[in-house]
Amino acid sequence: MTAAAALTQQPSAATGQLEHWQAPLLILVIGAFMAVLDTSIVNVALPDMINVFGVDQQGIEWVSTAYTLVLGVVTPLSGWLGAKFGIRTMYMIALVIFTIGSALCAFSWSLNSMIAFRIVQAIGGGLIMPAVQAMMIRMVPRNKLGAAGGIFGMAVLLAPAIGPTLGGYLVEFVDWRWIFTINIPVGVVAIFLALRGVPNVAPTPTQAFDWWGAGAIALSLFSLLLATSEGGSWGWGSESIVLLLYTSAISMAFFIWWELHIPHPLLNLRLFKYRSFAIANLLLMVISISLFGVLFYLPVYMQSIRGLGAFQSGYLQLPPALLTGLVMPFAGRLYDRVGPRVLVPVGLLFIALGMFFFRQLTIETAFFSIIWWNCVRSVGMGLAMIPTQSAAVSEIPPAQAGQASAITNVVNRLGGAFGVVLMVQLFDHYNRTEQSGYANLLQQGNVTQQNMISGILAKLQASGLDPAHAQAAFSALLQRQIGTTVFTNTFDIVMVIIALALVVSAVAALALKKGKVASEPGHAVMD
C-alpha cells in the first residue's frame, strides 16, 4: 500500500483503527529507529572524540549519558503534548528538532558544544518514541497488536545493536561526524513521508500542565545522575556529592507525593498497583542496564585493548544484532501462546549466561568467542524484551495506555543512562582496586608479576635497544601491560555482577502474568 493510499483510508468509526495500518506504521518506525540508533551509534566514535576534543573517558561519557538522560526527562511530556497538539503533529515537530540537533552535532567544536547539541537532539528523540507507540495503539486493530509490536520492537532492539557496525564504518572509512550527518537526509524523508502517509489523531481537551511534577522529576534525575557520574572523581563523601544525593532524594519524594495527590499528574504512578506493570518495569530497567552498559564498553575493549578499527569493532557486533531480529518475531508469536512466565525468565537467563561468558575475557580472547557470547546474550534480549513490554501493559485499562507507555519509556531511557553510569562507576572502583593490587604485588616481588617483567625485558633485549632506551621502553610497556590486564579483569568482574542481577530478575519474572485487555471503543478519531 502506498503512502498516498494510507493517507486517504478512513479509520473505523467505532475504534479509530485503520484497516491497512502497515504502511503508516513502517513510516513511523523510521523515526523510532533513528531515535534509538543514536543511543549506541555514538559509542564507536567516543575514542575519536576523546582525541579531537582533548578530554578524558569520564568527560566523554556525557556525550552518551546526556542524550539518554534527556530522553527520559522529555518522555513524560509526550502524553500532554500529544493530547494538546495531536500526536502526528508532535511526532513531526520532534523529527524536525531531532534532525536540527543532528546537524548541530555534526559541526560541534568542543565537548561542551557536543553535549549541548546532543541535548537538542534528545529533546526531539524523547518525543518520537512515545508518539510512535501512541499512534500504533490507535491505528492497529487489537487482534493485530502482536504483529505491530514485532515491527516496532525490531526498531527498538535492532537499532542499538546495529549502531556499532554502522557507526564503525562511518568512523573508519568516512568521518566520525557522519554518524550525525547521516540523520539529516533520513530525517527530511521521514518528515515528508509522515506528512503524506500518516493520519493524524485529533487533539483532545487537556488539563493544565503539571509544572511542579515536571520540575521535580527533572531536578531529581539530573542531581542523581550527576552525583553517580562524578562521585569517583569528586569523592563519594564530598560535600557536593552528598548535597546532590540529598537534592535528588528530596525531589523524588516530593514528586511521588505530588503525583499521588493531584487529579491530573504528569505520570500516573498509581499504575504501579498492577503487579505485572511494576515487576515488568523493574525488569526493563535491568535489561536496559545490561544492554547499554555492554554497548558502551565493548567498543572500548575492541579498539583500545585489541587495536581494531571502528568498523571492525562494529562489524563483530553485527551477527548478534541480526540474530536478535530473527528471534523477536518468534518471541512475539510465542508470547501469545505461553505468556510471559516462561519466555521472560528464559530470556533473562540467556542474557545472564552471555554476560557470565564474558568473565573469560582476556587480551587474547578469540573474536569468535566474543561473537558467540554476544549471540547468546542477543537471543535472551529477543526473548525477554518484547514479552516484558507486553506484560507491562497487559493489565492496564485501555484509557491509561498512554500513561503506561510514558512510564515504560522513562524506565527504558533511565535504564540506558544508568547502565552507562553504573558501568563507569564499577569500572572505576575495581580498576583502582586492581591497580593497587598490582602495585603491591610488584613491590613484594610476586612470582607471576616477575615472570611478566622478565618476558617484557626479554623482548626488549631481543630488539637490540641500548640500556637507557630499554628502560624507558620497559616502563611504557609495563604500564600498558598492567593497564590492559586491569581493564579485562575489571570487565570480567562487572559482567559477573550484572549476570547475578539478571538471575535474580529471572526469579522475579515468574510473578508476571498475561492480563486480558478489552478493546477500547473510545479511540480518538483520526483526521
Instruction: Count CB neighbours of 519 within 10 A.
Output: 12
Q: What sign has the CA pseudo-torsion 414, 292, 425, 346?
A: positive
Residue 2: what pLDDT?
46
The pair phi, psi for residue 336, each rounded to 5°, is: -65, -25
Could you tell me which residue, 440 or 84, shows the higher pLDDT?
Answer: 84
Q: H-type helices in 339-393, by residue range?
A: 340-357, 367-393
Taking the C-alpha atoms of 258, 262, 268 and 271 in order, what is their torsion angle to the nearest 10 degrees?
Answer: 100
Residue 47: what pLDDT?
79
Average pLDDT for the chain: 76
Mean per-residue pLDDT for 405-410?
A: 76
Amino acid at 170: L
Q: Which of 155-164, 172-181, 240-249 has the lowest mean pLDDT?
A: 155-164
Q: At what angle do helices 111-139 and 145-169 cross, to 10 degrees?
A: 160
Maximum distance among all Cα pairs of the chain, rounded to whole angstroms: 87
Q: H-type helices in 176-267, by residue range?
A: 178-181, 183-197, 211-234, 239-259
d(CA 504, CA 109): 44
Q: Counting Cβ atoms within 10 Å, is residue 4 exposed (0-12), middle (13-18) or buried (19+)?
A: exposed
Query: pLDDT tens digits, residue range 24-62?
Result: 888 888 888 888 787 767 877 877 888 888 877 777 778
Is the model's pLDDT at 524 over the cut of 50? no
d(CA 30, CA 43): 21
Could you tell me which residue, 198 or 160, shows the higher pLDDT?
Answer: 198
Query: pLDDT tens digits, residue range 280-304?
Result: 888 988 887 777 667 667 777 787 7
Q: Which of 1-5, 158-162, 423-427 has the lowest mean pLDDT?
A: 1-5
d(CA 269, CA 132): 22
Query: pLDDT tens digits, residue range 447-497?
Result: 665 666 666 666 666 666 666 666 666 666 666 666 677 777 777 777 888
Q: What sign has the CA pseudo-torsion 312, 170, 378, 62?
A: positive
Is the model's pLDDT at 63 over the cut of 60? yes
Residue 349: what pLDDT?
94
Is the model's pLDDT at 323 over the cut of 60? yes
H or E element, residue 420: helix 401-444
Cell of residue 269, nine digits: 504512578
Instruction: Count CB neighbours of 425 within 10 A.
Output: 18
262: left (phi over 0), alpha (psi -120 to 50) or beta: beta
pLDDT band at 419 (very low <50, low <70, confident <90, very high): low
pLDDT band at 503 (very low <50, low <70, confident <90, very high): very high
- % of the chain surpassing 70 pLDDT: 71
pTM of the model: 0.71
HSE-up (13 A, CA, CB side) for residue 346: 13
- % of the chain surpassing 90 pLDDT: 8
CB contact burial 316-333 (16+ within 10 A = b; e otherwise): bbbbbbebbbebbbebbe
d(CA 506, CA 500): 10
Query: pLDDT tens digits, residue range 76-133?
Result: 787 778 777 877 888 889 999 999 999 999 888 888 888 999 999 989 988 888 888 7
Could you tell me which residue, 90 or 414, shows the higher pLDDT?
Answer: 90
